[in-house]
Structure 1
Amino acid sequence: MPSDQTSKDLALGIVDFLKSAIADGTITSDDAESVEVAIECLSDVFQVDESRKEQVYGKQNLLSIFNAFQRLKERKKSSEPAETTEAAPSGPSEADKAKAEELKAQGNKAMGLKDYGSAIDFYTQAINLDPTNAIYLSNRAAAHSFSGAHEEAADDARAAIKIDSNYTKAYSRLGLALYSLGDAEGAVNAYSNGLKLEGATPSEAMKRGFETAKKKVAEDLDSVVPVTTDEEEISSRSAPSDSGAGAGAGAGGFDLNSLMNNPAIAQMAQKFMSNPGALSDMLNNPALKGMMDNVKNSGSMPDMNDLMNNPMLQNMAKNFMGNKK
């Protein structure tokens, strides 16, 4: 196999290295036979001429040359200037902070003019310059609330709290946003956290917001679980429990379904329809007026059984229907 002289000289160095490794015990006796076979193969393939060793390597060998190369490489590496990497900025620059404050002032001015769209824009620019400032986010939350964007207001308030959990105004802005979204319970929690941080001197806005949200929670609870008064409880206990009263039965046993299905009552109603004056005469009856006054004063309907068995009413009905006995 033809080969250039450089390859042959390199193969010479490898053969010399392997023979030295066998001689000094680097290669164990168990492996020596295999390595010797490899040496023979290399010598044949590259036509190694061992007589050229001193001419090619002098007093060196392949191992010493490699070690020298490694030392040179290390020295070169140590002499090279260390690579400098720019540290990531730890926060906004002083110039950015100053500009952000100017933008915040412009946003506050726009809020005073009720120009909430411009205020949001100014606060957004300030946040972009200094995203670590909770005040900018809280102020934008207020602008969102005034413009009716309550979801965005809640998001900004939460972001402000995440940056600075001790910034109380953010809790007030969050409470207002949640209340406006119909989450009165969440608003109570937000205002409550703000009040805890404000301590002995709570702000009027925080107190007012908390009380308003708490009242709304109570109203929502009352609408789900109606409060029963003592009078209603007594009335319900005194009502007949007989299931035969039907779905139309009310307080005092007043059964509207039974009343409407009573033939006598139906006939009486037809009589009233054909003779309106008779109804007026009946309602002006002193005894009946007294009974109706009692119903008005007591606030409850009379017992239907009592009405049907009342002799006075029975007599009035007979006279009205023309059924005298």
Structure 2
Amino acid sequence: MHKNKILQYFYIFRFKLFKTSTKMSEGALKEKELGNAAYKKKDFDNAILHYSKAIELDPTNLIFHTNLAAVYFEMKKYDESIEECKKAVDVGREQRADFKLIAKAYNRMGTAHRKKGELELAKTAYEKALTEHRTPDYRQNLSEVESAIKKAAEEAYINPEIAEQEKQKGNDCFKKGEFADAVKFYSEAVKRNPRDAKIYSNRAACYTKLTAFDLALKDCDKSIELDPSFVKAYLRKGNALKVMGQTQKAMDVYEKAMEIDPNNAEAKQGYKDCAVKQYSTGGGSSDPEEVRKRAMNDPEVQAIMADPAMRMILEQMQSDPQAVSEHLKNPEIMRKIMKLKDSGLISMQYR
């Protein structure tokens, strides 16, 4: 109880000091208002004159310094703005000013440093603002400058020549079957050159070998994002999906690879392997008539079934199931057959 009483007296004492320290003289208040009016009109020279006069009349009030700092900031005189913020903090400390006002000075100081590109100094100022008074805006400012510092560090680390050296080390490890070590080198190469699609694709191959399929797919997607025409990334994504047992998704990826490079043997073989697996596992529906009706509403299915050549092929496949293997050598016929299979219209197995 005694302790609480002491704290109560302390806060009352501090409040009285604060009221005294922030009370403006009539002349200083008038100059401040004239400075505010000039500031709103962007008449910065007169704003400086009035705020400076207010400081002369009342050197104990930090608000005049923070206002003056705001003028210099708008004039892009960031050094002068920072100096006024420092003076505001010093005056505020001497006069035991409200911590919110000191926090505002630190925040403004941080923004001026940020404009100058002095990110570390900006970070320090924002941190000090938060120690005085925590607000979402101050927290956001700190978060943004921390992100900018991280990005700057990453950009400074980029070196394509070193990236190529690290990639080669990864290639050497991959050839030896040392996949975990290869991942380390490829990861360093990515940091050194995050815009090289081939590095992500190479690392994806390692992840597949290590059965880290989620990471492999993520790297394949990044590689494709960086270079949508890079066939190798599609092939490695298809291979990962095939190993994962996601046959249809793998076929879709192999098909995309064949669109980019129609003569790619690996894409054709991957697609064929998946197609054979699809047929060997069979299919069907508990309600064939319903499936058939739904499928025939698909314009693409209608076109396939209306094609005389495709009808002949389907009839041949019914009388000679072994003919499936021969027809799958043609990517376009394979695609149409798989479309019918996916729609539920056909369900065939090798015997």
TM-score range for the pair, normalised by the shorter chain length: 0.3 to 0.5
More helix by share: 2
Q: TM-score, normalised by structure 1?
A: 0.44
Q: TM-score, normalised by structure 2?
A: 0.41
